[in-house]
Amino acid sequence: RLALNTGVAVNPKVVGVGKDKSDRATLDQVLDARTRLVLGSLKRRGIIDDIEYCISTGKEANVYYSGRPALSTDSASPSALAVKIYRTSILAFRSRKSYIEGEHRFKGEYTSSKNPRKMVRVWAEKELRNLRRLHQGGIRVPIAIEQKENVLVMEFLATGESASPRLKDAELSQEDVARLYSELIVIMRRMFKHCKLVHADLSEYNILLHDSHICIIDVSQSVEHDHPRSFDFLRKDIHNVHDYFTRLSRGDIGLLSLRRTWDF
Ligand code: ADP
Ligand code: MN
């Protein structure tokens, strides 16, 4: 493990490096100094433990595994954590503009790429708020624990020892397919009508199969139902989901009954 000067140890495997002296340089690129300070303070506050391994590397964020902190006194807190760290590089959030713009919740916030640090903080904050709103609305999502700057700490959704699979990677029987499809339709409708959110990046990649149920993740780009482009995003979400399940069911899904359900 590499110590990070900030009291948080990171397993070198996390960043896919060996044991030579270039470790430090590689680690620096993945977790910049500010981010390491944030992790250090989260650990001192007993919110996270050491970063054990990398769950996922993406264009805009990496997700890491952290055990339940030894300091934790809250018995209701999850037994393991997923720590999502948003990249602060300019490239990463150019594509986010169209989601943040038009969000009345973030009027006057730093929505331009002039200040990458603040922009990315807004993004992480948005995911935290969306997760909480969905949870309160009865949608299965990881429980959001804390957000500081570009770091979001949430419940780690596990199946056995490993992360719960994405819908894309889950092995499903035809009965599962039908059951999960109707579950998802109810969820999407509830998200819109009750939680007043459109996911805006919904697909088999951003849905986990957890305890045999649909669990929604990756909601940093989700928008209010009255966002000027909310219907474009909703249409796309419906299209993705519909397409995927049609493929899974080899065309066997009752499209007509579906149309009636989509009574937005
Ligand atoms: P990205 O912006 O990189 O797509 P996601 O929020 O979709 O970020 O997370 C990337 C991947 O990390 C997911 O596909 C999932 O496999 C895993 N993951 C994310 N959050 C959790 C969680 N709370 N528990 C378990 N795995 C997670
Ligand atoms: Mn994703």
Q: Which ipTM score applies to this complex?
A: 0.99
User: Using one digit for the tens of pLDDT, what is the confidence trace for 193-220?
Assistant: 999 999 999 999 999 999 999 999 999 9
- pLDDT tens-place string over residues 174-189: 999 999 999 999 999 9
165-261 sits in which CATH class? mainly alpha
Which pLDDT does position 22 carry in this prediction?
54
Catalytic residue among 49, 201, 237, 252: 201
Residue 60 in contact with ligand 1 by CB distance below 6 A: yes
What pLDDT is attached to residue 249?
A: 85
pTM of the model: 0.87
pLDDT at 231: 95
Q: Residue 155's pLDDT is what? A: 97
Task: Specify the residue with its C-alpha closest to ligand 1, atom 5.
Answer: 218
Q: Find out whether the beta carbon of 201 lies less than 6 Å from any atom of ligand 1.
A: no
CA distance 264 to 262: 6
Residue 32 is predicted with a pLDDT of 86
Pick the CATH number of 2-156 from 3.30.499.10, 3.30.1330.60, 3.30.200.20, 3.10.300.10: 3.30.200.20
Q: Where are the domains of the chain?
A: 2-156, 165-261
28 is catalytic: no
206 C-beta closer than 6 A to ligand 1: yes
Of all atoms in ligand 1, which is nearest to the CA of residue 61? 3
Would you state the pLDDT for residue 195? 98
Q: Is 217 in the pocket of ligand 1 (CB under 6 A)?
A: yes
Residues of the chain with pLDDT under 50: 15-19, 110, 256
Question: What dihedral do alpha carbons 34, 36, 38, 44 form, nearest 10°?
Answer: -150
Distances (CA, A) of 264 to 47, 183, 203, 238: 39, 16, 19, 11
- Verify whether residue 201 is a known catalytic residue: yes
The Cα 239–Cα 59 span in angstroms is 23
> What confidence score (pLDDT) does residue 72 get?
64
